[in-house]
């Protein structure tokens, strides 16, 4: 862990939140300009016209059939995000998130992602609620508005105890299902996790392998809400360094295992298994219909969020074609 990360991590919670707020608001405010648009355009939002369909990029369920019929060219509806909406976040705060070898731990990156969600969805009447998936179970936070509510949520996330193996881990699928039952009104759902829970063994995680345990529940959420899956990772999860004999600890169960990283074959098998895991997660999120945003502890996470939002704005704010006459 580098010195900068350690310094940030050991700041008092209030100072850490203040620094995080300044980082998010200054960077995102400078990168994102224009009228209010949310993280995702979606059904239930204010119509903004139509544009030509882009194969492989647009969802068929957003087809504007009336314009398509008039112009004989496939078109999709474009929308602006609702000005009053309820956003729910499911934040994975289980022991597997207490890991990081770059400037941030995955847990702190998850907190930063929630801060960005709070900033991007802030507005008159907008509410933010949360479910925290911890080693003790699911912890709900009632929806609220304003900066004080967001700070209370972020402080609660920072104060979740670390380094404690879960006696009876709550699966991510159960967390998603609990949120689905709570979020009865259509809105925006943001799931922040490493999505490592419920994955099949790396040896069977190919294209024809079984889906992750949480995929079905995520798909059910997508059927009612606009869903953004924020996948948090660390570079060390993808490869092992050659540093001799090390002890690996499963943060969820506390089990330990000694591994000789000097074995090239072992390092290659580890990297292949990690790649298979990443591909399995990406396929499952894609099949569910949720939007996918990848954040890593060694990358410019604000830049990654901004690029995602800019791309959504480009899709929603594309030039509208004429709506009258035939093509």
pLDDT at 49: 62
Whether 279 has a pLDDT exceeding 70, the answer reads: yes
Give residues with Cβ within 8 angstroms of 309, minimum separation 6. Answer: 32, 37, 39, 120
pLDDT at 87: 92
Say how far apart CA 209 and CA 323 lie, in whole Å: 45
- 178: tokens are 């609990």
- 268: tokens are 């290659």
pLDDT at 40: 60
pLDDT at 78: 66
Tell me the per-residue pLDDT of 144-169, one tens digit each, with 9 for 90 and over: 998 889 989 998 988 888 766 656 67
pLDDT at 42: 47
134 Ramachandran zone, left/alpha/beta (phi>0; psi -120 to 50): beta
Tell me the per-residue pLDDT of 82-97, one tens digit each, with 9 for 90 and over: 456 789 999 998 888 8
Mean pLDDT of the chain: 79
Q: Are 102 and 297 in contact (CB under 8 A)?
A: yes
Which domains, ranges and CATH numbers included, belong to the chain?
Answer: 3-36+82-316 (3.40.50.410), 46-80 (no CATH)
Say how far apart CA 169 and CA 154 lie, in whole Å: 22
pLDDT at 43: 45
Say how far apart CA 311 and CA 309 lie, in whole Å: 5
Confidence of residue 103 (pLDDT cuts 50, 70, 90): confident
Tell me the per-residue pLDDT of 289-323, one tens digit each, with 9 for 90 and over: 999 999 999 999 989 998 888 887 676 555 444 44
Say how far apart CA 183 and CA 50 lie, in whole Å: 29
Q: Which pairing describes strands 75-80 and 245-249: parallel, antiparallel, or unpaired? A: unpaired
- Pick from 41-45, 236-240, 261-265: least confident: 41-45
Return the residue matching tokens 């190919």. 206
- Pick from 98-112, 121-135, 252-266: least confident: 252-266
Which has more confidence, 309 or 8?
309
Q: Which pairing describes strands 226-233 and 245-249: parallel, antiparallel, or unpaired? A: unpaired
- 112: tokens are 């930063």
Tell me the per-residue pLDDT of 164-216, one tens digit each, with 9 for 90 and over: 665 667 899 999 999 999 988 888 999 999 998 877 665 444 455 688 989 99
pLDDT at 290: 93
Whether 7 has a pLDDT exceeding 70, the answer reads: no
pLDDT at 204: 43
Confidence of residue 6 (pLDDT cuts 50, 70, 90): very low
Q: What is the mean pLDDT of residues 50-57?
A: 74
Tell me the per-residue pLDDT of 113-143, one tens digit each, with 9 for 90 and over: 999 998 888 776 789 999 999 878 889 999 9
Give residues with Cβ within 8 angstroms of 322, minimum separation 6. Answer: none
Confidence of residue 60 (pLDDT cuts 50, 70, 90): confident
Predicted TM-score (pTM) of the model is 0.76
113 Ramachandran zone, left/alpha/beta (phi>0; psi -120 to 50): alpha
Which has more confidence, 18 or 176?
176
Burial (CB count <10 Å: 0-12, 13-18, 19+), residue 15 = exposed
Burial (CB count <10 Å: 0-12, 13-18, 19+), residue 152 = middle
The alpha carbon of 115 is separated from its chain's Cα centroid by a whole number of angstroms, namely: 12
């Amino acid at each position: 862990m580098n010195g900068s990360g350690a310094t940030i991590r050991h700041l008092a919670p209030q100072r850490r939140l203040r620094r995080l707020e300044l980082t998010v608001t200054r960077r995102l405010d400078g990168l994102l300009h224009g009228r209010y648009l949310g993280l995702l355009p979606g059904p239930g939002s204010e119509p903004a016209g139509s544009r030509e369909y882009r194969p492989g990029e647009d969802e068929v369920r957003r087809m504007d059939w009336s314009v398509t019929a008039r112009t004989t060219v496939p078109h999709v509806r474009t929308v602006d995000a609702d000005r009053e909406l309820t956003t729910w976040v499911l934040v994975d705060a289980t022991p597997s998130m207490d890991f990081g070898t770059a400037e941030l731990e995955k847990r702190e990156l998850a907190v930063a992602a929630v801060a960005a969600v709070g900033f991007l969805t802030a507005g008159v009447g907008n509410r933010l609620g949360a479910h925290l998936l911890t080693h003790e179970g699911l912890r709900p936070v009632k929806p609220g508005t304003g900066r004080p509510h967001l700070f209370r949520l972020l402080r609660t996330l920072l104060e979740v105890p670390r380094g404690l193996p879960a006696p009876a881990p709550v699966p991510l699928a159960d967390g998603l299902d609990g949120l689905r039952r709570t979020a009865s009104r259509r809105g925006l759902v943001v799931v922040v996790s490493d999505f490592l829970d419920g994955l099949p063994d790396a040896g069977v995680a190919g294209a024809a392998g079984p889906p992750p345990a949480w995929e079905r529940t995520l798909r059910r959420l997508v059927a009612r809400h606009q869903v953004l899956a924020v996948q948090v990772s660390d570079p060390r999860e993808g490869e092992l360094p050659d540093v001799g004999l090390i002890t690996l600890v499963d943060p969820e169960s506390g089990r330990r295992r000694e591994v000789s990283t000097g074995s090239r074959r072992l390092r290659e098998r580890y990297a292949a298994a990690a790649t298979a895991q990443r591909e399995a997660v990406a396929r499952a999120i894609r099949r569910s219909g949720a939007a996918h945003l990848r954040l890593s502890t060694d990358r410019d996470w604000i830049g990654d969020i901004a690029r995602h939002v800019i791309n959504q704005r480009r899709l929603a704010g594309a030039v509208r074609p004429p709506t009258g006459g035939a093509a």
